[in-house]
Chains A and B, each alone.
Chain A
Amino acid sequence: MLSCGGFSYEKIIVENLKYKYPDTDQLALNDVSFEVEEGEVIGIVGQNSAGKSSLCLALTGLIPHFFNGAYGGKVLIDGIEVKTSTITDLSQKAGLVFDNPFTQMTASKYTVYDEIAFGLENIGVSREEMIERVDWSLKMMGIENIKDKNPFDLSGGQMQRVAIASVIAMRPEILVLDEPTSQLDPQASEEVFRVIQQLSQEGITIVIAEHKMEKLASFTDRILLLYEGKQIDFDTPQKVFSRDDLHDYGVVPPIFTTYCKAMGMKNKKTNTYPVTLAEVSSLLGGENNEWNKS
């Protein structure tokens, strides 16, 4: 975590990243630059078409290797340059999970257990290690009880956890999630967020594009704000969500921030508004005099 201090190490380095899809004439990513340290949790926010998905694809090598198009700048994942690497090699560094649980199933395996082993079979992991890794993934995702079910017989939330399990079985140190709960009901979303936080506690670096700002505020270290492919801000949730121009970028801050803004409740020290319920209540409770009505 950021607050750990001491030696920190750049897991992700993005430098002047530019990208244009084939047959389009607008840059989907326009000069994006940021760095992520080991173990950090980064939220990507922005309105529709801001470039969130494109950035997720660029971190995992799908851009440019799957989508082609025009590419500029540099992305380093754990020291490996994306442009000259392959999707397969990168998949063992940075895993990708996206919104649609259904299309993330390989559709060629008949049990959850086999589904999770799919990637490991492809990269030639030995049987013993495969079993060990699949068991670990099942446990991390809390889905041991459905390991013999057909993936397509699962609920959306279960399927999404199988998708995450399948990706983390590849043992990436970075997990990139593109709106992983946008197609799930609230309860399933909660479960998915819970397992993501658990992975973060295991030390996995996490990048997550998400519209649920309250959620992001509660567990991200920094927020990357995108607008029309451009990077507007990259800072702590408090700083980003306290921006006055947030609405211009089509982003609605967490409800607590909106409330405190309206009430003029600001943290004097940092000059930011609270972003979580915990911060609001500590401010109201007055236990922490860091927060005061201005």
Chain B
Amino acid sequence: MTLYVKQDSLIHEIDPITKVIYAFVAALLPYILPSHTVALIVLVISIMLLVVGKVFRKIIPLIGLSLFLIVSLVIIQGIFRPDNVTPLFHFGPIIFYKEGLSYGLLLMLRVINLLCAFGVLILTTKPDDLIQSFIQKGMSPRIGYVIGSVLQLIPQMSATIATIKDAQRSRGLETEGSLLVRIKAFLPLIGPVIMNSLISTRERSIALEVRGFNAKQKKTFLHEVHTYKYAKVIQAVLILIFIFAILWRIFL
């Protein structure tokens, strides 16, 4: 399971660690400096990177996932924010205020910006490369295994879910019916799958152990992670911007 899109682009060439740093710095900047302008600038930069990375269209469904949160932020802040004083417009008895809407807008920009910043990382970086980069930076290979395994098992689990749903249909366990009926349907549906997955951990552990999973030797890698010429420079600039933003927030 991965959102990675294979493309030939400038952004794809950048090494994973640099992109991780970018994602964090870009996502957090509008929180450190709470202004519409900052949020907008960072957002535009992330969008430009997505366009250069030829993955802009893939960010839309990601934003769609959080659409309810985004809309809800603007509406609720617009109506209910405690420091609301200046009415802007109304739908019947519901009044939207300028302060709340403006703040809601900032919150919205922050969320969309967070999604786009991480989008740059996720959509243009192969998960294996990301994991391997972290291992080479000192992350335990065992944790690397865990992450790689999640990405491989989730699609597997999706297949299991399809099987469960078939079983559900054939056993007449409908998704309709009272709440109690549906809650009661839950455990028999997923209980056996959970049991089997837990029991399977024994055999998988054995399979790993007989393939040197607990070896004390220093690990080697089949693939060489590509390096990026300007990695150090970009990373330094990003971190400087981040520090500068924090100082700005504290002292100005």
Which residues of A come within 8 Å of B, CB atoms? 57, 60, 62, 66, 86-88, 91-92, 95-96, 98, 100, 102-110, 113-114, 117-127, 130-131, 134, 152, 163, 166-167, 170
Tell me if B220 and A125 are in contact (CB < 8 A): yes
- Per a CB cutoff under 8 Å, which of B211, B214, B219, B224 touches A86? B214
Task: Give 24 A-B contacts (CB < 8 Å), ordered by A residue.
Answer: A57-B206, A66-B206, A87-B209, A88-B213, A88-B214, A91-B211, A100-B200, A100-B203, A102-B200, A106-B207, A107-B153, A108-B145, A118-B211, A119-B211, A120-B222, A122-B211, A123-B217, A127-B222, A127-B224, A130-B220, A152-B155, A163-B207, A166-B211, A167-B211
- Per a CB cutoff under 8 Å, which of A87, A102, A103, A106 touches B214? A87
Interface centre among B153, B203, B215 (most CB of A within 10 A): B215
When distances are taken between beta carbons in the complex, the residues of chain A under 8 Å from B222 are: 113-114, 117, 120-121, 127, 130-131, 134
Give the CA-CA distance A107 to B219 in the complex, in Å.
18
Given A121-B219, A121-B221, A103 contacting B211 (CB threshold 8 A): no
When distances are taken between beta carbons in the complex, the residues of chain A under 8 Å from B72 are: none
Tell me if B204 and A107 are in contact (CB < 8 A): yes
Per DSSP, chain A at the interface is: helix
When distances are taken between beta carbons in the complex, the residues of chain B under 8 Å from A102 are: 200
Given A62-B206, A121-B219, A152 contacting B214 (CB threshold 8 A): no
When distances are taken between beta carbons in the complex, the residues of chain B under 8 Å from A113 are: 222
- Going nearest first, the 6 A-B pairs with the smallest beta carbon separation are A119-B211, A122-B212, A108-B148, A103-B203, A124-B217, A108-B149
- Per a CB cutoff under 8 Å, which of A121, A124, A134, A167 touches B210? A167
Given A103-B200, A107-B204, A108-B148, A122 contacting B215 (CB threshold 8 A): yes
Against A, the Cβ 8 Å flags (1 = close, 0 = not) of B140-177 are 01000100110011011000000000000000000000
When distances are taken between beta carbons in the complex, the residues of chain B under 8 Å from A88 are: 209, 212-216
Interface residue count for B (Cβ, 8 Å)?
32
Q: How many Å from the CB of A232 to the closest CB on chain B?
A: 27
Give the CA-CA distance A263 to B153 in the complex, in Å.
55
Using CB atoms, name the residue of chain B closest to A122: B212
Give the CA-CA distance A95 to B207 in the complex, in Å.
10
B205 at the A/B interface (Cβ < 8 Å)?
yes
Given A66-B206, A98-B206, A152-B152, A106 contacting B218 (CB threshold 8 A): no
Tell me if B220 and A127 are in contact (CB < 8 A): yes
Give the CA-CA distance A106 to B210 in the complex, in Å.
11
Against A, the Cβ 8 Å flags (1 = close, 0 = not) of B110-143 are 0000000000000000001000000000000100
When distances are taken between beta carbons in the complex, the residues of chain B under 8 Å from A134 are: 222
Using CB atoms, name the residue of chain B closest to A87: B209
Which residues of B come within 8 Å of A, CB atoms? 128, 141, 145, 148-149, 152-153, 155-156, 200, 203-224
Give the CA-CA distance A170 to B219 in the complex, in Å.
14
Q: How many Å from the CB of B141 to the closest CB on chain A?
A: 8
Give the CA-CA distance A166 to B208 in the complex, in Å.
11
Using CB atoms, name the residue of chain A closest to B212: A122
Tell me if A96 and B149 are in contact (CB < 8 A): no
Q: How many Å from the CB of A90 to the closest CB on chain B?
A: 8
When distances are taken between beta carbons in the complex, the residues of chain B under 8 Å from A126 are: 220
Q: How many Å from the CB of B251 to the closest CB on chain A?
A: 47
Give the CA-CA distance A163 to B156 in the complex, in Å.
18
Interface centre among B156, B209, B219 (most CB of A within 10 A): B209
- Per a CB cutoff under 8 Å, which of B141, B152, B153, B216 touches A110? B152
Tell me if A91 and B212 are in contact (CB < 8 A): yes
When distances are taken between beta carbons in the complex, the residues of chain A under 8 Å from B156 are: 107, 152
Q: How many Å from the CB of A116 to the closest CB on chain B?
A: 9
Using CB atoms, name the residue of chain B closest to A86: B214
Tell me if A170 and B128 are in contact (CB < 8 A): no
Give the CA-CA distance A130 to B223 in the complex, in Å.
11
Interface centre among B200, B222, B224 (most CB of A within 10 A): B222
When distances are taken between beta carbons in the complex, the residues of chain A under 8 Å from B148 are: 108-109
Interface centre among A98, A108, A109 (most CB of B within 10 A): A108
